[in-house]
Structures are given as C-alpha cells and as structure tokens.
Structure 1
Amino acid sequence: MTKLIIVRHGETTWNLEHRAQGSKNIGLTKNGLNQAKLLAKRLKHYKIDKIYSSDLDRAFHTAEMVAKELDQEVIKDNRLREMSFGKWEGLTTSEIKEKYEDDFIIWRNNPHKALIPEAEKLVDVQNRTLEIINYIIKENKGKTILIVSHGISIKSIILGIMEMPLSDFYKITQNNTSINIIEYRDYGPVIKTLNDTAHLENIE
C-alpha cells in the first residue's frame, strides 16, 4: 500500500506576525526548529522510504531534521512551494485588509475565485502540487513517502486527492509541523490522519 505522510513546515517569524509568506524564503524560529526536532523524533518510528520537500528554507530545513534522524536525503522540488501571494507577500493580515479590502473579502469567502494582485490562483497552486504528488505516487508504489510543504499547498493537495472542491478550502486547517497521512487502498485514497500535532503537546 502506498502511503503519503504530508507535513507542514515548522514555525517562522512571519507565522507569528501573521504575514503572508508565499514564495518569500523565511527561515524557522527557535521554536520552529524545536517543533521540527520533535517531529523528527516522532517520525523516526515510521518506515519512511523517501523524503520530498519544497525548496523554500522553512520546509527544507524541517525536512532535513527528519532526514537526519532517519539517515536519508531530501529531494527538493519547487512544485511543493507555497502559493505565491504577489503584492500581499510580507504584509500582515491587517495591512492586507486595509490595502486590498475587496480582494481580501473574496479570498476569505470564495478563495477559489480570488484574483490577488500578481499572485497565483488557488487552482494553479493545486494543479502544480498535484502534478508532483501524482509523480511521487507513480514512482513509489507500495512505499511510504514523506512530503514537507506549506499550509495552503497542503490543503490544496488534500482537497484534490479527495476530489473535494476548492471552495471547501477553509474547512481544513494546517498547524506548524502537523502530520497528514493518506493511504492509497484498493478502493482509493483514505485520510488516516489530519492536522495531527500530538508531538507538540508538551512543548514549552
């Protein structure tokens, strides 16, 4: 049985500041590094055959922590990057609301219809992430694969795999270093775990 373990990266400064990160290359905070260490210790007990990651530092460094624990290499792929937010990148949620009120309302209510200035469309994010996901599945039949990516990208992947509409985007949440497990059974994909952060329960 092919199994995907899809994980969001650890905490960044911009996560704390509620800034749109998108394609900006923001590193992990000290807490984010600790989250990644705890994630690595937990995933050590899984039989992971291969590790793929977004090429952005916050995801790649999270993946590296796990890879070190498992004595493996990380395969980078830019198709696992976060959605590019164009003009919104670097702005806080409050600043976006103030400067792009109409676009923000659409993003929050109908994200699949949002046309953020100079940004990717949500459907384009889903198309590129599913392209690499389908490749990974084809190349690793019967294996367990770890994929480290970003919140919006992961939600797009899960909705796509489960054949759910992008209008359901806000019905899924993804916390830092959350674990999502999807098993490909004889009758199709099954979500076994969603947004699991049990490894962070005792974090200070």
Structure 2
Amino acid sequence: MKTELILLRHGETEWNSQNRLQGHRDSALNPEGQRQADALAARLVSVSFSALYCSDLGRAVETARRISARTGHAVTPDARLRERGLGILEGLTREEARERHPDVFAEYSAGAPDYVVPQGESTSQRLRHAVECLSELGHRHRGGRVVVVTHGGVLSLLFRHSLGIPPQAPRTFSVLNAGWNQFDYHPHDGTLRLVTWGDVTHLTATSRDDT
C-alpha cells in the first residue's frame, strides 16, 4: 500500500532570479513564479489527491495557496519541509558569500553532510526533518496521494537520498522552480522511491495557451 507523494518546488522568487541564497529568509514569488504556481494549480485540478502540505516559508505557502484556490484543498504548513537554514549566507549572492565569508562558503560548497553553517544547519539535519515528515505523511495517507510544496535544496537531498548519491558528490541534475517530482513511500520498509523528476510540461503547456 504505497503512498504517492507529489513533491513540488515553489515558483520562482525575486531572489531566485538574482541567484541569492534564501534558506529560511524569504522572497516573494515574482511574476514568473506566480505564473508557474498557477500552472501547477491548473495541472492539479484534474489530479485526485487527498491533502495539500507545504513548507511554512512564505514562497512555498504562496505557491500552495494558489494551488488551493483552484483545487479547494486546505493548506497545511509544516516547518519540517523548510529549506535548509543557511545562517550568515542568507540573502547573499554566491559571489557575495564567497567574498564576505570565504571559509564558510568553501565548506558549504564542499557539501559535507554534517557541516553546520554558522547560525544555520547541516544538510543531514534538514534531510532528517524532511524524511521524518514524509514518512509521517506516507503512513497517514497510506494507499493515497498527497501534494507537498517544498524547496530546491530539500528536493535535491531527497533525490540523493533515494538514489544513494553521497551528499558531497557534485550535483549533476537540475532542480527546477515549479518542477513536478513524484516519490512513492513504501510503509512496510520506510523507503522513498523516485518515480518522476523535474517534470515541467505544465509550464510549456501554459505558455502555448497564452500565445
């Protein structure tokens, strides 16, 4: 009795477009991000699912609310679905972070799973929170389907976790804004299995409809 988890990345934000590290700080969806969230909502109208969850950070909540407005599902925020806290690096572009905090940025970029960014957290801490949350949802909605709006960093960690890719291995895959990713949770052994990754066909369909 697997549970289907449709994991969505929030729409593009102002800081995404500026290549700024967001972490637990927030930036509103820009016009493109709003369009992306609405495209997700339009796709989900024809999908049967039992519940809608999201990170409690504003960009994920805004994306989820746009989905809710079309599907009628209540939005349930959960802090365990947050992006990794990046502490003193938050709000900086990568170039600014490298210049102002060279040692910290180097450690962050190296990807060691237990490295804690000052005033932030490690990837292993964030992954533990996310897996705990998804396992709980998998049991709560056993045999069903739920939608979860979360963040690029969390999705990247879950991708690696499900495929056994070390956290420090160079990233050779994309994590797209408003990307549609499906993981199946198997309650009998607690495993997450990747089914679909990075599907953005709803975005191109919306673009065609707008022309």
TM-score between the two structures when normalised by the length of structure 2: 0.88
CA deviations over 1:110-152 (Å, ceiling 9, x no partner): 3425442221111101111111111111111001010101111
Aligned to 1:94: 95
Map of 2:34 onto structure 1? 33
Say if 1:48 and 1:144, in contact at 8 Å, map to a contact too: yes
Give the secondary structure class of the aligned counterpart of 1:201: helix
Paired residue total: 204
2:105 is the counterpart of 1:104: yes
Specify every segment of 5 or more residues in structure 2 that has no aligned partner in the other structure, as ranges: none
Deviation at 1:26, TM superposition (A): 1.7
Q: Could you tell me how far apart the structure 2 residues matched to 1:12 and 1:152 are?
A: 15
> d(CA) in 1 for partners of 2:22 and 2:116?
17
Tell me if structure 2 keeps the 8 A contact 1:115–1:121.
yes
Distance in 2 separating the partners of 1:51 and 1:172: 26
Give the aligned CA root-mean-square deviation in angstroms: 2.1
Task: Report the AA paired with residue 197 of structure 2.
Answer: L
Q: CA deviation at 1:158?
A: 3.0
Q: What does 1:55-134 align with in structure 2 at a 5 Å threshold?
A: 55-112=56-113, 114-134=115-135
Change (3 A) 1:196 1:52: same
Distance 1:184 1:131 in 2: 12
Tell me by how many angstroms 1:189 deviates: 4.0
Give the equivalent residue in structure 1 for 2:193: 190
Question: What 5-or-longer segments of structure 1 have no aligned partner?
Answer: none
List, as ranges, runs of 4+ consecutive aligned residues in structure 1 with deviation greater than 6 Å. Answer: none
CA distance in 1, matches of 2:133, 2:56: 13
Residue by residue, what CA displacement relative to the aligned partner does 1:145-166 show, whole Å, maximum 9, x if unpaired?
Answer: 1010111112223333444432
- Asked if 1:16 corresponds to 2:7, the answer is no
How many angstroms does 1:169 deviate by? 6.6
**Could you tell me how far apart the structure 2 residues matched to 1:30 and 1:181 are?**
26
